[in-house]
Structure 1
Amino acid sequence: MTATLTDPVRVRPPAADGPGTLRIGRARAALELRQFFRDRRQVFFTFSMPIVMFLLLASIFDHTYEGTGVSTQQIYVTGMLATGILSACLQGLSLQVGMERHNGTLKRLRATPMPPASYFLGKIAMVVVVSLGQAVVLLGIGSMFFGLDLPTAPGRWFTFAWVYLLGATACTLLGLVCSNLIKGENGGPLVIMPVMVLQFISGVFVVFAELPRGLQTVASLFPLKWMCQGMRSVFLPDAYAAVEPAGSWEHGRTALVLAAWVVVGFIMCMKWFRWKGKDEG
Structure 2
Amino acid sequence: MNTALRAGWARGLIELRQSFTNGGELVSHFLWPGLTLAAMFFLRNTEFGSSGLLLGTLLLPSILGMNAALGLVSMSQLLTADREDGTLLRAKATPHGMPGYLIGKVVSVSGGLLADLAIFLIPGLLLVGGLDIGAGSWLSLAWVLALGMVATLPIGAILGSAFTSARSQGVLQLPVLGVIAISGIFYPITALPEWLQWIAQVFPIYWLGLGMRSALLPDAAVGVEIGESWRHLETVGVLGAWAVLGLLVAPVVLRRMARGESGSTVAERRDKALQRIG
Q: Aligned equivalents of 2:13 and 2:132: distance in 1?
A: 31
Larger deviation, residues 77-86 vs 181-190? 181-190
Q: Aligned equivalents of 2:162 and 2:156: distance in 1?
A: 10
User: CA, structure 1 residues 67+207, in 2 after alignment: closer, same or farther (shift >3 Å)?
Assistant: closer
How large is the RMSD of aligned CA atoms in angstroms?
Answer: 2.4
Equivalent residues of 2:3, 2:96 under 8 A apart? no
Q: Aligned equivalents of 2:175 and 2:127: distance in 1?
A: 31
Equivalent residues of 1:182, 1:188 under 8 A apart? yes
Cα deviations by residue, 1:8-36 (Å, 9 ceiling, x for unpaired): xxxxxxxxxx9723321221112211332
Aligned to 2:252: 271
Q: How does 1:47-196 map to 2 (within 5 A)?
A: 47-56=30-39, 58-59=41-42, 62-65=45-48, 69-87=52-70, 89-147=71-129, 149=131, 151-153=133-135, 155-196=136-177
Residue 100 of structure 1 deviates from its aligned partner by: 0.6
Equivalent residues of 2:57, 2:131 under 8 A apart? no
Larger deviation, residues 93-102 vs 263-272? 263-272
Q: Aligned equivalents of 2:252 and 2:41: distance in 1?
A: 42
Q: Identity, % of aligned pairs?
A: 29
Equivalent residues of 2:8, 2:103 under 8 A apart? yes
Aligned to 1:31: 14
Q: Aligned equivalents of 1:60 and 1:151: distance in 2?
A: 20
Equivalent residues of 1:61, 1:73 under 8 A apart? yes
Cα deviations by residue, 1:216-241 (Å, 9 ceiling, x for unpaired): 11000001100000000001001111
User: CA, structure 1 residues 94+199, in 2 after alignment: closer, same or farther (shift >3 Å)?
Assistant: same
Q: Aligned equivalents of 2:27 and 2:207: distance in 1?
A: 28
Equivalent residues of 2:44, 2:57 under 8 A apart? no
Equivalent residues of 1:173, 1:269 under 8 A apart? yes
Higher-helix-fraction structure: 2
The code of the aligned residue for 1:91 comes to V
Q: Aligned equivalents of 2:245 and 2:41: distance in 1?
A: 35
Q: Aligned equivalents of 1:181 and 1:19: distance in 2?
A: 29
User: CA, structure 1 residues 48+214, in 2 after alignment: closer, same or farther (shift >3 Å)?
Assistant: same
Q: Aligned equivalents of 2:91 and 2:55: distance in 1?
A: 47
Larger deviation, residues 60-69 vs 92-101? 60-69
Query: Aligned to 1:70, what secondary structure does the other structure show?
Result: coil
Residue 85 of structure 1 deviates from its aligned partner by: 1.3
Residue 185 of structure 1 deviates from its aligned partner by: 3.3
Query: Aligned to 1:20, what secondary structure does the other structure show?
Result: helix
Question: Tell me, which stretches of 5 or more residues in structure 1 are unaligned?
Answer: 1-17
Residue 60 of structure 1 deviates from its aligned partner by: 5.2
Q: Aligned equivalents of 1:194 and 1:247: distance in 2?
A: 28
Matched, 1:205 2:186: yes
Q: Aligned equivalents of 2:18 and 2:99: distance in 1?
A: 19
Aligned to 1:246: 227
Q: Aligned equivalents of 2:169 and 2:44: distance in 1?
A: 30
